[in-house]
Amino acid sequence: MQPMRKTALITGSAKGLGKMTALLLAEQGVDLLVNYVNSAQEAEELCARIRSLGVEGYAVQGDVAKPADRERLVSEAVNRFGKIDILINNAGPFIRERRLFRDYDASEIEGLMQGNLLGVMHLDHLVLPMMRQRQWGRIIHFGFGHASEARGWPHRAVYAAAKVGLVSFTKTIAVEEAASGITVNMICPGDIRGANKERTIDEVEHLHDDESPRGRPGTGEDIARVIAFLCEERSDFLTGNIIDVSGGLDPIRAIVGSGAKTKASAEAGTNA
């Protein structure tokens, strides 16, 4: 008798980093519940790709910033699969516009905290009992580069506060749940933008990124590979970690990559 396949709920997985993670886990034999807010077509197309890989894939609409939607997501996953082995808290609202804290309104503060901290805690709280019952589970949180240092991030006050709070929470429940075979880790992606979120390493390895110390842009595959490794059966000794997957980029104080050249030095043929 073959062992029952693992099942995963990935929030915000119709596109971007969540999509790439879903596809890689599907390739490894994991059944997926794909979550989306507005991207219904993309979610259904992704589920079709997942099913073509020989596993189950279902799309469920829901906003992780809303408590009722979080409860419904978990209920849908349990109804479909009977359990949740892997919870990947990928979704989280982010306001790219640079803005001082005093310029946020109350509803924006509430939405950012619900989507990036309180909602993550709630989802974890909902799935932990079933993981504990099976003595196995993998929980992944998302942060930002150097989040574990709790530095100030001007113009990102609310988002940064939520993610830094999540660092402490990640480390705490990692210790509390370790004896139950449950690991909890945080992934901190670099500044992966636009189409690169759904690209592979092969597709960008010959491209140059002046801001990246590595010299190339980051991709969705960079993130998905780390998550997939943390979700493996034998990765049970890796827990409570805050892992930067950024090519060395500091998002708060961006630096010029080691492979970058200034215009003048490039014209002269010398390294910057």
Question: What CATH number has the domain bearing residue 19?
Answer: 3.40.50.720
- Burial of residue 121, with CB atoms counted within 10 A of its CB: 0-12 exposed, 13-18 middle, 19 or more buried: middle
| Residue 228 in tokens | 């997939």
| Residue 209 in tokens | 């990124």
Q: Which residues pair with 60 in a beta bridge?
A: 35
Whether residue 263 lies inside any domain: the answer is no
Which pLDDT score is estimated for 210? 85
Whether residue 268 lies inside any domain: the answer is no
Number of domains into which the chain is organized: 1
Which pLDDT score is estimated for 2? 55
CB atoms within 10 A of CB 266: 12
**65: amino acid identity, one letter:** A
Determine which helix (DSSP H) or strand (DSSP E) holds 202, and give its type and residue range.
helix 201-204
187 neighbors 227 (Cβ within 8 angstroms): yes
List pLDDT tens digits, range 182-191: 999 999 998 8
Output the 3-class SS for 91-144.
CCCCCCCCCCHHHCCHHHHHHHHHHHHHHHHHHHHHHHHHHHHHCCEEEEEECC
Whether residue 146 lies inside any domain: the answer is yes
Residues in the chain predicted with pLDDT less than 70, given as ranges, are 1-3, 253-272
Domain carrying residue 174: 7-206+217-252
Judge if pTM exceeds 0.85. Answer: yes
Whether residue 123 lies inside any domain: the answer is yes
Whether residue 259 lies inside any domain: the answer is no
List pLDDT tens digits, range 114-158: 999 999 999 999 999 999 999 999 999 999 988 999 988 999 999
Whether residue 270 lies inside any domain: the answer is no
